[in-house]
Amino acid sequence: MQWSFPIARIAGSEIRIHLTFFLLLLWIGIAQFQQGGGAAATEGVLFIIAVFACVVLHELGHAVAARRYGIRTPTITLLPIGGVAQLERMPEKPAEEIVVALAGPLVNVVIAAVLILFLGATVDVATLAEIEDPAAGFLARVAVVNVVLVVFNMIPAFPMDGGRVLRALLATRFSRVRATEIAATIGQITSFLFGFLGLMSGNVLLIFVAIFVYMAATAESQATGLQDVTRRVPVRDAMITHFDALGPTSTLDDAAEALLRTTQHEFPVVDGGGHLRGVLTRSALVSALQEGSRSAPVLDAMTKDIPLVRDTQMLDAAFTRLQSGAPAVGVADREGRFLGYVTVENISELMMVRDAERATRAA
């Protein structure tokens, strides 16, 4: 995610923090300072940090549960509206998806239970109403936040945790694509309710949550539909076969010339044996040119460990790997020789062509 940087690595997941998160801390600090001076500002900032520590643990709950099914979580990013765990993929079996979805809220249940049962935090309606008031007690407020996180995340608004549980339950009766469409529609309707409540109450954060839920529900619904289509398309039908490749001895200057000469956004780096060494993206090339010499080797700027699929596989094998964040997926023959590559963009273009063909036949 752009404008974020790593701060830690826990259980195999890179914890990243978005720059806008510091704007939230600054806003809280200034607001509390105006009300109660330096002590209030410090307490307010520490409270927000404690809340987001609980959010990180929530997302780690998802990550640990997903790992049980062989799914990695490369990054967890902290935003002002909460945390986002980037799972390589969601489990497709309904029971597994329910376990992964419930693991996050369960962590908050445990945190609240520890604060209430063992540390003496008091959670009641008064504390809930005074959650922004330091006089309510630090631990009590943190406990209330965890209760709120459980309730809020279990709202059946896809792709929130409750929405994922809803999708999994629907998938026991409908296809995964249809279940996703229904859950996403409910999520979009709920986002409009969030937005309306945010406008009526003047709660800017709720408006941002509404926008995030709507966009995420739409994007995931489209991705699920796309993945379903890719299961019926051979990777050979989608891969890019006409391209300019770079060699291991190529320089950034060579890559810059190729960029101007072609319309490519990414350049495979292929060795003399016909094996893929990596992919140099346009953005990586521009960044490298800004930072170093044009005579620097492309090997230093390219993305390494590009996933490979066989040319006999179906397109969904490449699509799944693209969802993990790879800029491209290489296609190789039985001997491992590079034949072409697949990107999200050209998969989308293939789907648009096929949709147009189906529309023409239907007419």
CA-wise closest residue to 17 among 78, 58, 76: 78
For 307-358, how does the pLDDT look when each residue is reduced to its tens digit (9 = 90+)? 999 999 999 889 888 877 788 999 999 899 999 999 988 888 887 887 787 7
Highest mean pLDDT among 16-20, 34-38, 262-266: 262-266
DSSP code of residue 11: T
Which of the four pLDDT bands, split at 50, 70 and 90, describes residue 11? confident
What integer pLDDT is reported at residue 276 of this predicted model? Answer: 94
For 34-70, how does the pLDDT look when each residue is reduced to its tens digit (9 = 90+)? 877 888 788 888 888 898 899 999 999 999 999 999 9
Q: How far is CA 260 from CA 186, 265, 302, 355, in A?
A: 46, 11, 18, 32
Task: Give the three-class secondary structure for 299.
Answer: helix
Q: What are the residues facing 83 on neighbouring strands?
A: 78
CB distance 328 to 348 below 8 Å: no
CB distance 120 to 244 below 8 Å: no
Domain 235-362 has CATH 3.40.50.720: no
Q: Retrieve residue 120's tokens.
A: 């003496």
Q: Where are the alpha helices (DSSP H) in the chain?
A: 19-67, 94-117, 125-129, 138-153, 161-170, 176-201, 204-230, 252-261, 282-291, 315-322, 344-362
What is d(CA 196, CA 7) in angstroms, rounded to the nearest whole number? 35
What is d(CA 256, CA 252) in angstroms, rounded to the nearest whole number? 6
What is d(CA 23, CA 50) in angstroms, rounded to the nearest whole number? 16
CA-wise closest residue to 341 among 332, 330, 333: 330
For 327-337, how does the pLDDT look when each residue is reduced to its tens digit (9 = 90+)? 899 999 989 99
What integer pLDDT is reported at residue 1 of this predicted model? Answer: 54
CB distance 233 to 210 below 8 Å: no
Model-wide pTM > 0.85: no
What integer pLDDT is reported at residue 224 of this predicted model? Answer: 83
Residue type, 137: G
What is d(CA 320, CA 329) in angstroms, rounded to the nearest whole number? 10
Does 200 have pLDDT greater than 80?
Answer: yes
Beta strand pairing status for 329-332 and 276-281?
A: unpaired
**N residues, the chain:** 363
Q: Retrieve residue 229's tokens.
A: 């289509």
For 92-148, how does the pLDDT look when each residue is reduced to its tens digit (9 = 90+)? 899 999 999 999 999 999 999 999 888 877 776 666 666 666 666 788 888 988 998
> In sequence order, what are the residues at sequence separation of 6 or more whose Cβ sits closer than 8 angstroms to the Cβ of residue 243?
262, 264, 267, 268, 340, 341
Beta-sheet strand order (sheet of 75-79): 4-10, 13-18, 75-79, 82-86
What integer pLDDT is reported at residue 268 of this predicted model? Answer: 95
Provide the b/e sequence for 162-196 (b: ≥16 CB within 10 Å): bbbbbbbebbeeeebbebbbbbbebbbebbeebbe
What integer pLDDT is reported at residue 134 of this predicted model? Answer: 66
Rg (CA), the chain: 24
Per the prediction, the chain carries an average pLDDT of 87
> In sequence order, what are the residues at sequence separation of 6 or more whose Cβ sits closer than 8 angstroms to the Cβ of residue 90?
71, 97, 100, 164
CB distance 339 to 333 below 8 Å: yes
Beta strand pairing status for 13-18 and 75-79?
A: parallel
What is d(CA 358, CA 331) in angstroms, rounded to the nearest whole number? 27
Of 117-126, 175-184, 212-221, 288-297, minimum mean pLDDT range: 117-126
Does 2 have pLDDT greater than 80?
Answer: no
What is d(CA 12, CA 35) in angstroms, rounded to the nearest whole number? 41
| Between 1 and 28, residue with greater pLDDT | 28
Q: Retrieve residue 281's tokens.
A: 């993206």
Does 244 have pLDDT greater than 90?
Answer: yes
Mean pLDDT of 285-306: 89
Instruction: Name the residue ranges covered by the structural domains of the chain.
Output: 4-154, 172-230, 235-362
Does 178 have pLDDT greater than 80?
Answer: yes
What integer pLDDT is reported at residue 254 of this predicted model? Answer: 93
